[in-house]
């Protein structure tokens, strides 16, 4: 097989891209626990990325006691091509942060008896601190409410403001995650308001600033038109930044307005990326069609426990 990833169907991608292959599908299970949790979330006016991003692993993760909360509002000041979160226009929309949000996230996480809580946010480039104080407060509230749980933060790049990164780390997350999302050649299309080197700098700073027992983590999607050598270079760059854990998953088009899937990467290619990453020295590499940022987060938790 050539180094270039196989494009299914061979023809240029249609508006909706190639057909979803069997290996990228997931059976729906655990409906009961999922519906119970959804009712609880609505009651607190909270949102999980698991739902917003239509994550294919939502049933499994909720059932396992892991969930990802999205804070700093429902709208984002950026417009990444792969993301279905609505755009925030500060002239038109409410920009005030909900002061009760940190406490509500903590209460809901406790009610859900979560063992692993992921806190992420939209980008808030309109705020002086990028929302980092609110982010840090949410981490502190969750850690107070659920001292046994592990907390992972999946942060924006805070426009490269390392004081903001430090503020979040000072709140004591067990895992600091910042996603690269794609290879640098595709940034202009996939992540136009972000900068590849800036994101690497955030991860490198986090590794140096955080305590040794805090893991750093990053993830990206494949199927957006990248090549295998580009993916290997991205993994090398992440390792050079000291990143401990990498996640590699198939991009799935969340709505028809988002970028089309260029290709469905075959499972053996995901295995090859995992093996390559492990060879580079990552502590863990999760690589597979349905892998998402927080997939199998409880395994990361176990690893983190051994280091704490
Ligand atoms: S910054 Fe995050 S939330 Fe905002 S559009 Fe991009 S991926 Fe979506």
CATH number of the domain to which 69 belongs: 3.20.20.70
Closest CA to 308 of 204, 134, 171, 172: 172
| pLDDT on residue 20 | 76
Q: Tokens 């892991």 sit at which residue?
A: 66
Q: What is the CA radius of gyration of the chain?
A: 18
Closest CA to 156 of 169, 165, 147, 166: 165
Strand-pair category, 86-87 with 116-121: unpaired
In a domain, 237, yes or no: no
Q: Are 50 and 26 in contact (CB under 8 A)?
A: no
Q: Are 73 and 52 in contact (CB under 8 A)?
A: no
Distance (angstroms) between ligand 1 centre and the Cα of 178 equals 12
In a domain, 97, yes or no: yes
| pLDDT on residue 39 | 72
In a domain, 276, yes or no: no
Structure tokens at 120: 């992420």
DSSP 3-state assignment of 195? coil
Phi, psi of 35 (to 5 degrees): -65, -35
Least confident of 19-28, 103-112, 262-271: 19-28
Q: Taking CB atoms and a 6 Å cutoff, what residues make up the pocket around ligand 1?
A: 76, 78-80, 83, 85, 122-123, 156
Q: Are 220 and 277 in contact (CB under 8 A)?
A: no
Model confidence over 287-298: pLDDT tens digits? 999 898 876 566
In a domain, 139, yes or no: yes
The residue whose CA has the least distance to atom 2 of ligand 1 is 122
Structure tokens at 277: 């990453």
The residue whose CA has the least distance to atom 3 of ligand 1 is 122
Model confidence over 80-97: pLDDT tens digits? 999 988 999 888 898 899
Structure tokens at 27: 């059976």
Q: Are 118 and 66 in contact (CB under 8 A)?
A: yes
Question: What percent of the chain is modeled with pLDDT above 70?
Answer: 79
Closest CA to 168 of 126, 210, 200: 210
| pLDDT on residue 28 | 52
| pLDDT on residue 270 | 98
Of residues 3 and 121, more confidently modeled: 121
| Total of domains in the chain | 1
Q: Is residue 34 pLDDT above 90, yes or no?
A: no
Closest CA to 214 of 175, 241, 171, 252: 175
Q: Is residue 4 pLDDT above 50, yes or no?
A: no
Q: Is residue 163 pLDDT above 50, yes or no?
A: yes
In a domain, 286, yes or no: no
- For a pocket test of ligand 1, which of 47, 72, 78, 155 has the largest count of ligand atoms closer than 8 A to its C-beta? 78
pTM for the structure as a whole: 0.86
pLDDT confidence bin for 65, thresholds 50/70/90: confident
Distance (angstroms) between ligand 1 centre and the Cα of 82 equals 8
Model confidence over 216-274: pLDDT tens digits? 999 999 999 999 999 999 999 999 999 999 999 999 998 999 999 999 999 999 999 99
The whole domain housing 203 covers 24-225+293-307
Looking from the CA of residue 84, the nearest atom of ligand 1 is: 8
pLDDT confidence bin for 12, thresholds 50/70/90: very low
Looking from the CA of residue 191, the nearest atom of ligand 1 is: 6
Strand-pair category, 116-121 with 150-154: parallel
In a domain, 258, yes or no: no
In a domain, 230, yes or no: no
Least confident of 23-32, 35-44, 208-217: 23-32
Residues of 11-44 as b/e, b for ≥16 C-beta within 10 angstroms? Answer: eebeeebbebeeebeeeeeeeeebeebeeebeee
CA 123, chain centre distance (Å)? 13
Model confidence over 110-135: pLDDT tens digits? 988 899 999 999 999 999 999 999 99
């Amino acid at each position: 097989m050539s180094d270039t990833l196989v494009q299914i169907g061979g023809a240029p991608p249609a508006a909706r891209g190639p057909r979803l292959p069997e290996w990228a599908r997931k059976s729906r299970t655990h409906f009961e626990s999922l519906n119970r949790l959804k009712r609880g979330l609505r009651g607190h006016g909270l949102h999980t990325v698991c739902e917003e991003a239509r994550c294919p692993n939502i049933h499994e993760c909720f059932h396992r006691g892991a969930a990802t909360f999205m804070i700093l509002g429902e709208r984002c000041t950026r417009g990444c091509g792969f993301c279905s979160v609505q755009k925030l226009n500060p002239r038109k929309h409410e920009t005030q942060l909900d002061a009760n949000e940190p406490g509500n996230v903590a209460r809901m996480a406790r009610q859900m008896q979560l063992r692993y809580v992921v806190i992420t946010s939209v980008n808030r480039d309109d705020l002086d601190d990028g929302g980092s104080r609110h982010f840090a407060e949410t981490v502190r509230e969750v850690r107070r409410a659920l001292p046994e749980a592990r907390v992972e933060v999946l942060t924006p790049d805070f426009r490269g403001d390392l004081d903001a990164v430090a503020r979040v780390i000072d709140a004591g997350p067990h895992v600091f995650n910042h996603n690269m999302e794609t290879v640098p050649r595709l940034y202009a299309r996939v992540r136009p308001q972000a900068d590849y080197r800036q994101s690497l700098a955030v991860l490198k700073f986090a590794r140096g600033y955080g305590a040794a027992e805090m893991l750093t983590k990053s993830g990206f999607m494949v199927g957006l038109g990248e090549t295998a050598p580009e993916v290997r270079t991205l993994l090398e760059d992440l390792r050079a930044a000291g990143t401990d854990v990498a996640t590699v998953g198939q991009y799935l088009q969340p709505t028809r307005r988002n970028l089309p899937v260029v290709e469905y990467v075959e499972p053996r290619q995901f295995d090859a990326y995992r093996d390559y990453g492990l060879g580079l020295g990552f502590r863990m590499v999760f690589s597979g069609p349905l892998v998402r940022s927080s997939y199998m987060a409880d395994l990361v938790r176990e690893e983190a426990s051994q280091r704490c």
